[in-house]
Structure 1
Amino acid sequence: MSVMNWSSLSLFTTKPMPLCKGKVSVGAVTKILLRDLPLGRVVVLQHRDLDEVVAQELIDRKVKAVINCETTMSGTYPTQGPLMLLQQQIPILEVDISTFEDFLPNSEITIYENELRFSDRHAACTLFTREKWLDLQQQANARTDTLMEQFIENSLTYALREKDAVMEPLPPLTLRTEMVHQHVLVVSRGRGYKKDLSAAKAFIADVKPVLIGVDGGADALLECGYLPDLIVGDMDSVTDRALTCGAELIVHAYPDGRAPGLVRTDALGLFAHALPCFGTSEDFALLLANEQGAEWLVTVGAHTHMIDFLEKGRAGMGSTLLVRMKIGARLVDIKSIGALYKPSFFWKREAVMTIVLSLFFIGLGLFQMHWILRRAAHVVWRLGGGS
């Protein structure tokens, strides 16, 4: 009997099965990549600490896999972003940042657990697993108190530095959109913003507020069938489709007057106001609506807590605290509206039903009274000798 040697045995060796294949979309700046990302792509990112908003966008675009040339999760703060992708069976592969330039847009790639094959090249990769997420999440949770202390100190430091700026009015601006005594809905690209906007349909239909999209928030309005009245922001995460929808455009400029967003609007041949303001574009939109005389400001997707701001790369929320202090009780979140607001058409329907039922019972009572009177008259007639 012959003995099988290693070379013949290798003929029967099973080749590793790929995790997936697909066309590549590459983006060094994730929010710019997401603007026009086609469905079903393999995305190559440089995104440290993949946050929930980006994860949901990737899920909505039905990506096949995420190749990250940065640290997907550092354990600095808790985040559900990577877990959200893994729960949707979307693999996350981490590669060295030096390989980023090797990925060509629209090229074909085959992904294995430990290797990427594309354009006749090979690159080693590491699969990001649920176990790794859990370990890093526990590390992040363990240092939350220290992180919170640093965040508070940073917020207070910037609040003290910017307190004079928040007291000053914005430069005068004449808009065609009237906001005096109007309700204003400000939509930002924050956690759960699409879901919250969808849930606000009754409120929007009944109140008909002025609609302001903060950068990519304008696209969420369009996706839900609304035309934004104004688009405010740096103009980096909003699509060309939104910018050309006919809304008034206001570029958030730096306090020194520089306005990088004008480069994009100019390239599209669009007129845009440029207004300098401290803080985030979300802060800017709220201050603008407040100074334009809005009666009630409602936020969708607003950034409100520490993790929100850390995911945006901001180590504090000093400007946001100041803006909310300035606006006061006229500023509410759509989640509160959803819990407390009852559209007037429900009241109208109930009023109509009440009137209908009242008329029914009145009619029934009159019919019964008529029947009783007829019976009484008949009895009297009989007693009087009628036949």
Structure 2
Amino acid sequence: MATVSKLQRTEPVRAAGYVRCDTKTKHLIPRLRPFEIAILAHEDLDEIAAKGLIEARVSAVVNTRCSMTGRYPNRGPLLLLQAGIPLLDMVENDIDDEVPSLLDVVQDGDFMTIIGGSLYVQDRYAGQGKMVTLEEIGQRMAIARMNSSTELHRFLDNTLQHAAREKDFFLGPLPVPDLKVRIQGRHALVVVRGSTYQEDLQTIAHYIKEQKPVVIGVDGGADALLQAGFHPDLIVGDMDSVTDKALTCGAELLVHAYTDGRAPGLKRVQSLGLKAHIYAAPGTSEDIAMLVAHEMGASLIVAVGTHTNMIDFLEKGRKGMASTLLTRLRVGPKLVDAKGVSQLYQTSMTWKSLAVVMVASLIPVAVLAAVNPVVRNILRILYLKLKLLFV
């Protein structure tokens, strides 16, 4: 078998670094350190996961699943390549029942070298992969566009089927948790870690400081709030993608449970010595956050980063959006969706605009100088001093 030293003579070294691996990308990202190689099992790598890997400054990503199947147009692989991060998918022929997965072969702290498409751990061959290219992404995007109609039909059928089963819960009287935070008559800000959530939070920062809404973080949305300099009043979710730092920040906690009352996230909360309310309901945690705000009398609900379309839900691993549809029907016009609002404010000031502003600001000064002799004398003195400096 060829060794690393022999292959380096003919094959390019794509990346080298210590390994960090996990079957759940959302659990892997918080543990990553700069320049490590991330090994994951994430079919159709989504945009939020890719942004997390980019922010972690990984040197490469090795995916034991197909990063882009062409089922729908996921942007994760494209974002990684645009950021200059090599992405390698394991060759499908290497994945079968008799050959162990790469995640079974390597462990955190192993040193990996990627040469061409070959993986070496501690100078030992660990498997063969295929570098994902921009050309391949373009081809998969074309396939995804052809598949979009079929995927949309499946998505709508699933949504309507689940909506028929869940409508009694969402349209009937809902339980109201006994929270300490006062919501009645106030604005409520619900933050989810969806696409553009960071930019949207910056765009509405003035609104948050001025209106002082009840701030609700949905799972990792609580961390997004803390990173943006805002403190969550309430954290809602199954508590699987929020950090200990956020959970212990002093916010009230509402654990989203299954309809049968099981709440797996409660165990983690209790392990931190914290108390939490439990809310048993179908649907997503962001739906529950909006419903609770609505039922507790919020005058307006502003949503940031929420999932609103088919791509959002497919990237989240959900095949329909029944609960979200029913939630929005119940909340009605009280809901303002701020997702993507930052895209409205991307214009930059041109030199022409800057010149107009400067000229406009000088007009009041000129008028004042014309009617006030004191101002005229001051300006004359300044003119003479400047003239002396350049003589």
Range class of TM-score, shorter chain? 0.7 to 0.9
Counterpart Cα distance in 2 of 1:161 and 1:61 = 41
Name which of 61, 66, 69 aligns with 1:74.
69
- How far did residue 277 of structure 1 move? 1.0
Q: Which residue of 1 aligns with 2:119?
A: 116
Q: Which residue of 1 aligns with 2:30?
A: 35
Counterpart Cα distance in 1 of 2:241 and 2:128 = 31
The amino acid of 2:115's aligned partner reads Y
Counterpart Cα distance in 2 of 1:194 and 1:206 = 19
The amino acid of 1:78's aligned partner reads P
Counterpart Cα distance in 2 of 1:237 and 1:56 = 15
Q: Which residue of 2 aligns with 1:174?
A: 178
Q: Which residue of 1 aligns with 2:290?
A: 286
- State the TM-score, normalized to the length of structure 1: 0.82
Q: Which moved more, 1:163-172 or 1:197-206?
A: 163-172
In the alignment, structure 1 residue 158 sits paired with structure 2 residue 162: yes
In the alignment, structure 1 residue 275 sits paired with structure 2 residue 291: no
Counterpart Cα distance in 1 of 2:50 and 2:111 = 23
Q: Percent identity at matched positions?
A: 47
- How far did residue 337 of structure 1 move? 6.6
- How far did residue 99 of structure 1 move? 1.8
In the alignment, structure 1 residue 193 sits paired with structure 2 residue 197: yes
Q: Which runs of 5+ in 2 are unaligned?
A: 1-5, 96-100, 346-363, 372-391
Counterpart Cα distance in 2 of 1:196 and 1:47 = 27
Q: Which residue of 2 aligns with 1:320?
A: 324
Cα 1:124–1:259 shift into 2, 3 Å: same
Q: Which residue of 1 aligns with 2:108?
A: 105
Cα 1:60–1:339 shift into 2, 3 Å: closer
Q: Which moved more, 1:208-217 or 1:152-161?
A: 152-161
Q: Which residue of 1 aligns with 2:220?
A: 216
Q: Which residue of 1 aligns with 2:374?
A: none
- How far did residue 57 of structure 1 move? 1.0
Name which of 136, 145, 151 aligns with 2:140.
136
Q: Which residue of 2 aligns with 1:334?
A: 338
Counterpart Cα distance in 2 of 1:241 and 1:167 = 36
The amino acid of 2:79's aligned partner reads M
Cα 1:15–1:143 shift into 2, 3 Å: closer
Cα 1:291–1:221 shift into 2, 3 Å: same
- How far did residue 15 of structure 1 move? 4.1
- State the TM-score, normalized to the length of structure 2: 0.81
The amino acid of 2:102's aligned partner reads T
Counterpart Cα distance in 2 of 1:79 and 1:336 = 17
Does the 8 Å contact 1:170/1:277 carry over to 2? no
User: Partner of 1:125: helix, strand, or coil?
Assistant: strand
Q: Deviations over 1:259-282 (max 9, x none)?
A: 000111111111111110110011
- How far did residue 338 of structure 1 move? 6.3
In the alignment, structure 1 residue 19 sits paired with structure 2 residue 14: yes
The amino acid of 1:102's aligned partner reads V
Counterpart Cα distance in 1 of 2:301 and 2:240 = 24
Q: Which runs of 5+ in 1 are unaligned?
A: 1-10, 342-356, 365-387
Counterpart Cα distance in 2 of 1:76 and 1:53 = 18
User: Partner of 2:175: helix, strand, or coil?
Assistant: coil
Q: Which moved more, 1:330-339 or 1:61-70?
A: 330-339
- How far did residue 188 of structure 1 move? 0.6
Does the 8 Å contact 1:53/1:191 carry over to 2? yes
Does the 8 Å contact 1:53/1:192 carry over to 2? no
User: What RMSD over aligned residues (CA atoms) do the two structures have, in Å?
Assistant: 2.3
Q: Which moved more, 1:212-221 or 1:142-151?
A: 142-151
In the alignment, structure 1 residue 296 sits paired with structure 2 residue 300: yes
- How far did residue 36 of structure 1 move? 3.4
- How far did residue 170 of structure 1 move? 3.1
Counterpart Cα distance in 1 of 2:215 and 2:261 = 26
Does the 8 Å contact 2:187/2:211 carry over to 1? yes
Does the 8 Å contact 2:45/2:67 carry over to 1? yes
Does the 8 Å contact 2:176/2:296 carry over to 1? no
Counterpart Cα distance in 2 of 1:137 and 1:337 = 26
- How far did residue 204 of structure 1 move? 0.7
Does the 8 Å contact 1:35/1:237 carry over to 2? no
Counterpart Cα distance in 1 of 2:289 and 2:144 = 32
Counterpart Cα distance in 2 of 1:274 and 1:36 = 28
The amino acid of 1:140's aligned partner reads A
Q: Which residue of 2 aligns with 1:252?
A: 256
- How far did residue 203 of structure 1 move? 1.1
- How far did residue 335 of structure 1 move? 4.7
Counterpart Cα distance in 1 of 2:312 and 2:176 = 31
Counterpart Cα distance in 2 of 1:34 and 1:132 = 25
- How far did residue 224 of structure 1 move? 0.6
Counterpart Cα distance in 1 of 2:229 and 2:280 = 31
The amino acid of 2:67's aligned partner reads T
Structure number with bigger Rg = 1
